């Protein structure tokens, strides 16, 4: 069994935290994994992505093949679509529905959302709004992870919750509780 995941977003949105948590859960579960990240220049507000590969057998390539990703998890809708050629026919896009506009030529929102909903397997959520409504403005990425947890299969929501607790432990109980709450909001969103 394998799960090839592309994590996408804009530099500074917190995709590496999502990667860290999935990575921790996978290690704890004894899965093989590779996780290619983008460091350096792109982190300055440019597009960033991470290739995360989980498998019950050894993983060779750090990069995912085109048409092979099972899941695109994105903090931003246009960034989700950027990696569309990597998604397999049965694969899912799990994305924030809220555009992040830091460029002058951001595409028309209606057209973008139309293209997104024309795809067969898409789950979107206004994660920033959900997080803010529950006074968890810094935990939008955990709302997204919660939503993605429904499609991860290779890891259970409880394994991910344990990792959230481990990864945020050094920041205190409140931070752990907030992030778990945000995760559950995504997991149980209607």
Partner 1 sequence: MKLLLGDEAIALGAVHAGISGVYAYPGTPSTEITEYIQNHAPEVRSRWCVNEKTAMETALGMSYAGKRSLVCMKHVGMNVAADAFVNSAITGVNGGLVVLAADDPSMHSSQNEQDSRFYGKFAMIPIFEPSSQQEAYDMMAHAFELSESLKLPVLMRVVTRLAHSRAEIVVRESQSQKALCPDNDRNHWVLLPAIARRQYAALVEKQTLLLEHAEKSLYNSSELSGKKSQLGVLACGIAYNYVMENDPQALGVSVLKVSQYPLPEQTIKNFAAQCETLLIAEDGQPMVEEQVKALLGADYPVIGRLTGDLPRTGELTPDSVGAALGVVGEPSYDNAQYVVPRPPALCQGCGHRDVYDALNAVAAEYADARIFGDIGCYTLGALPPFRAIDSCVDMGASITMAKGAADAGVHPAIAVIGDSTFTHSGMTGLLDAVNDKSRITVILSDNLTTAMTGGQDSAGTNKFEAICLGLGVEPEHVRVVVPLPKNMEEITRIIREEIEYEGVSVIIPRRECMQTLKRKLKQNKNK
Give me the residues that bind partner 1 (CB under 8 A), please.
Answer: 10-11, 23-24, 27, 32-47, 51, 59-68, 78-79, 81-82, 84-89, 102-108, 111-112, 115, 119, 171
Rounded alpha-carbon distances, angstroms, from residue 67 to 5, 39, 70, 115 = 12, 24, 9, 18
CA 54 to chain centroid, in Å, comes to 14
Considering the complex, state which of residue 84 and residue 189 has its C-beta at the smaller distance from partner 1.
84
Nearer to partner 1, 119 or 165 (CB): 119
CB of residue 60 to partner 1, shortest distance in Å: 4
Q: Is the CB of 36 or the CB of 189 nearer to partner 1?
A: 36
Of the pair 24, 162, the CB lying nearest partner 1 is at: 24
d(CA 56, CA 36) in angstroms, rounded, equals: 18
Q: What is the closest distance, in whole angstroms, from the C-beta atom of residue 85 to partner 1 in the complex?
A: 5
Residues paired with residue 132 on neighbouring β-strands, in sequence order:
none
Min. distance of Cβ 96 from partner 1 in angstroms?
15
Task: Give Cβ neighbours of residue 98 (< 8 Å, ≥ 6 apart).
Answer: 76, 77, 126, 127, 128, 129
């Amino acid at each position: 069994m394998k799960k090839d995941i592309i994590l996408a977003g804009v530099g500074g949105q917190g995709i590496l935290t999502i990667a860290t948590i999935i990575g921790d859960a996978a290690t704890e579960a004894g899965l093989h994994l590779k996780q290619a990240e983008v460091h350096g220049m792109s982190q300055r507000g440019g597009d960033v992505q991470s290739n995360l590969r989980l498998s019950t057998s050894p993983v060779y390539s750090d990069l995912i093949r085109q048409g092979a990703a099972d899941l695109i998890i994105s903090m931003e809708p246009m960034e989700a679509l950027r990696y569309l050629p990597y998604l397999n026919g049965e694969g899912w896009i799990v994305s924030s529905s809220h555009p992040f506009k830091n460029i002058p030529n951001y595409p028309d929102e209606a057209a973008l959302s139309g293209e997104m909903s024309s795809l067969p397997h898409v789950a979107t959520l206004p994660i920033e709004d959900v997080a803010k409504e529950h006074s968890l403005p810094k935990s939008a990425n955990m709302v997204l992870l919660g939503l993605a947890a429904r499609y991860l299969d290779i890891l259970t929501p409880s394994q991910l919750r344990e990792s959230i607790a481990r990864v945020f432990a050094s920041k205190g109980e409140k931070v752990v509780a907030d992030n778990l709450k945000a995760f559950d909001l995504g997991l149980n969103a209607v």
